[in-house]
Chain A
Amino acid sequence: MTLAEFFSCSLLAFGAPLAMFSMTVANDPVRIIIMIAAAFGWLLSFLLSSVVWYAVVPLRPYLSFGLVFAIAFQEIFRYGTYRLLRKTEAGLKEISENQDIGTNKLEMAYVSGLGFGLMSGAFALVNVLADSIGPGTLGLQNGTEYFFVTSSAMTLCMILLNTFWSVIFFSGLDEKNYFKVLWVIVTHFFVSGLSLLNRRQLYAATLIPSYIILIMTCVIAFRSAGGTFKSFIQTFTRR
C-alpha cells in the first residue's frame, strides 16, 4: 500500500517533467549540460537562502521570512543564468553538433527553467517520498491523509511553473518588456505565499489558485515563445 502511494506520488510530481526531459532534453548533450548547470544554480540559490535562514536564529520558526529570501535568491540566480547563457551562446554553438542550437532564443530558457524546476521539486519532495515507502499510515493520529498527494501536486505545479517562469523571464529581458519579469516575480511570491496556508490544510485554497496561475503562466510562456492558438491546434492535427 505504501509502495503504491510512493509510486503514485512520485509519478504525479515527476511524471510530466520527466516526459518533458526525455522528449526534449535527453538526446541533446548541450541541453543536458545546461539543465544540470541550471540545477546547480538553483542549488546555490537554495544554499544561500538556507544560510540566511539559519543565521537569523530567532526568526527560524517563521518560514515566511526564509521564504522571502529563498524567492529573492532564486530570481537573482535566474537572472544570473540569463546573463550567463546570453554570453556563452556562441560558445554553446561550437561545442554542440546540433547547429540549430542557438536558433530559438528561448530554447535555453526552457531547458534552464526545467533544470531549476526539477531541482526545486526534487529538494521539496524526495525526502517526503522516501518516508512514504516506510511503514506508517497518514492521518491516523493527526494531520491529514492527503499530505503526500497534495505535496506531490504542489511539486508538479512548482516544477512546471519554474519552467514557464524562465521562459517568460528570459523573453521579458530580451524584449525589455519588464511586465513579464514582474509577472514572474509577483506570481512566484503569490504562489509561495499561498502555500503558507498549507499548514492549516486549506488545500483547496492553495492548489486551485496555484493551478490557475500555472495555466495562465503557461499561456503567457507559450505566447512569448511564439506560439499561437493556431499552432497549438496544429500540434494535435499535424502528423
Chain B
Amino acid sequence: MSDTGSKTEATEHTALMDGHIAEARPDREIAERIARKRKTKSESQRTYGSVDQREGRAANAPSSSAPGAGPPPLPIEPQIEELELKYGARHVIKLFVPVTLCMLVVVATISSINFYSVKDVYLAYTPFHEESPHAGTKVWNALANSMILLTVIALMTVLLIVLYKKRCYKIIHGWLILSSLMLLFLFSYLYIEEALRAYNIPMDYITLAFVMWNFGVMGMIVIHWKGPLRLQQAYLIFIAALMALVFIKYLPEWTTWAVLAVISIWDLIAVLTPNGPLRILVETAQERNEPIFPALIYSSTVMYCLVATTTAGVDSPAEPEPAREPRPRELRPLNPHATREREASRRESGGTGEAAGFDAAWQARAASGSAPGPASGSASGPAAAAGEPRRLRVDGTAPASYTTRLDRPQPPPDADEEKGVKLGLGDFIFYSVLVGKASSYGDWNTTLACFVAILIGLCLTLLLLAILKKALPALPISITFGLIFYFATRCVVKPFADALAAEQVFI
C-alpha cells in the first residue's frame, strides 16, 4: 500500500501485494484511519506502539487539563490504537501455522524421498553447474546463475506490468490458468510417482489417473474459483511446497544460497523504492480500484472483494455491468465459519500466478529432461519465466473479469473478525527452500535453527507491518536471519552440539 493520499486509504484493503504482507481491513477502520491520518502525523506516530503515551493520553483525557491537542480526537485515539495493536498476535499465529506446515512438508519430503536431493538435471536458467572443485569458481558460478535468474525475473515482472497496464487481462489470466494446470497436474504427478517409488508402493495407472484427475481438478476449482477456505489454504501450501522442492532439486548448491540472498534484495527494492515494479503494480491496481491477485496470496480469511458501487470501469470495458449483477447475489463465502453477512467474491485466479511462472520453468525442465545438460531454449518462449515465484507473484494479477462485484455491504461485521493477514506464496516458497536446503545436509540442528530464525523474522516483519501499515516485503528479514543462522549453525554450533551429544553432556 502506498501512501498516495486518502484515496489510497479508501481502498487499502485491495492494496495487497503478492509476495508481501499486508492487511485486510474493513471499511470502517479505513475511514477511521483516514480521519486519524488527518491529524498531525507526529501525533499518530507518537501514539502508535507506545504504551506510555497512550496511557498518558488516556489519563489526560478525563482530566480537564488536557494538553494542547484538541480533546475530541483524543478519546478515540486509544481505542483506535488498541484496534491497531490487536491485529497482532492472533494474526501472527495465523501465518506461523501455514508457514510451518509448508516447511514440514518440504523437510519431510527431502528426508524421505531421495529424488529431490539428487542433482541430475538443471534449469536452463542456471547454465553454470558448479562442477569445479575450486571454491572461487563455484562462487562466481553461483553469482552468475543468480544474476541470470534475477534478470529473468525482473524482465518477467516488467512484462507483467506492461500487460497489466494495457489491460490485457485475458492474456494474463490464460497464462495463470496454464501455469496452475501444469503445477497441479504434471508436478503433482511427478511428486506422487517419486513418493510411491521411495516407499515401494505399487499403484496401477488407472487408480493413479483417477486420483490425479480429482486432485488436479479440485485444486483448480478451489484456487481459481471458490471453495472451502481450509481446502484452498491446503492447496496453496501444497503447491508452494512443490515449487520449493523443485527449486531445491534443480538449482546447484551454492546457487541456491546466492539466489535466496539476491531475491531478498530484489524484494526489498521492488517493493519499497518508488519506481519498484511491484509498487507500480500496486498503485496501478489502486488507481483502477481493483483487487490485486488475491489468488497468488495465502489469506487467513475469506477474501472479500469490495469494489466501489460505481463498478463501471473496473472490468474490461466490453463487459456490460448489468451482466455482472446477478453474480454477487449468488456468491456466498463457502467458509463454514464465516459469520458475516457479506457476500464474498471468491478468489480469483491468483493461485495460478504462482504456477504461471513455474510454467516456464516446467517447460524448461521438460525440455531439459529430454536432453540432459543445458536445455535448449525453453520451449514456449522466453516469456516462460524462470520458475521464479517472485515473478509469478507479480504475474498473478487477477483479471478483473473474474472479480465478483459487490455492492457495499450494509453493516460491516465485527472489526476484529475481519482482519485477515496475507502472505504471498513466493514467501512460502523461499522460506521452505531455505529450510529444505538446510535439512538436505542431514543435520537437524541446522534445520531447527533456520526454522526458528525464519519464524522470528516473520514475527518481526508482521510487527513492522502493524506499525508502518503498508505493504512490506516479507522476505528480507526472515531470509537474512535464516541465512545467518544457517551458516553460523553449520560451521560453529554443529560441532559443539555434536561433541556435547556424543559425551552426553547437557548444558
Contact = CB atoms under 8 A, between A and B. Distances in A.
Interface of A: 29-30, 32-33, 36-37, 39-40, 43, 46-47, 49-51, 53-54, 60, 63, 66-67, 70-71, 74, 90-91, 94-97, 119-120, 122-128, 130, 147, 150-151, 154-155, 157-158, 191-192, 195-196, 198-199
Contact of A126 (B90, B444, B503): B444
Interface string B11-51: 00000000000000000000000000000000000000101
Given A128-B501, A130-B444, 11 more contacts: A36-B456, A36-B459, A40-B453, A46-B507, A47-B488, A50-B492, A60-B499, A95-B89, A147-B504, A158-B506, A195-B505
Interface stretch (B80-88, B129-137, B259-267, B269-277): B80-88
B455 interface: yes
Contacts of A191: 506
B401 interface: no
B452 interface: yes
B430 interface: no
Nearest to A71: B507
Contact of A33 (B49, B89, B499, B507): B89
A203 to B, nearest CB: 9
A127 B445 contact: yes
Interface string B487-503: 01101110111111101
A29 B89 contact: yes
B55 interface: yes
Contacts of A66: 496, 499-500
Nearest to B91: A29
Contact of B501 (A49, A53, A96, A124): A124
B3 interface: no
A123 B495 CA distance: 12
Contact of B496 (A29, A37, A53, A95): A53
Contacts of B402: none
A132 to B, nearest CB: 12
Of B416, B488, B498, most A-chain CB atoms within 10 Å? B488
Contacts of B493: 46-47, 50
A56 to B, nearest CB: 11
A95 B506 contact: no
Contact of A96 (B89, B456, B498, B503): B89
Contact of A198 (B81, B88, B443, B504): B504
B501 A127 contact: yes
Contacts of A96: 88-89
Contacts of A29: 89-90, 92-93
Contacts of B503: 63, 196, 198-199
B492 A127 contact: no
B96 A32 contact: yes
Nearest to B491: A54
Nearest to B85: A94
A195 B500 CA distance: 10
B465 interface: no
B10 interface: no
B448 A122 contact: yes
A91 B51 CA distance: 6
26 contacts: A33-B92, A33-B93, A39-B452, A43-B449, A47-B488, A47-B492, A53-B496, A63-B500, A67-B505, A94-B82, A94-B85, A95-B88, A119-B452, A124-B500, A124-B501, A124-B506, A126-B444, A127-B443, A127-B445, A147-B504, A151-B501, A154-B506, A158-B506, A196-B505, A198-B503, A198-B504
Contact of A95 (B86, B485, B488, B504): B86
Contacts of A71: 507
Contacts of A70: 507
Contacts of B81: 94
Contacts of B505: 63, 67, 192, 195-196, 198-199
Interface string B50-91: 010001000000000000000000000000011001101110
B444 A120 contact: no
B444 A33 contact: no
Given A37-B459, A90-B51, A96-B89, A195 B506 contact: yes
A152 to B, nearest CB: 11
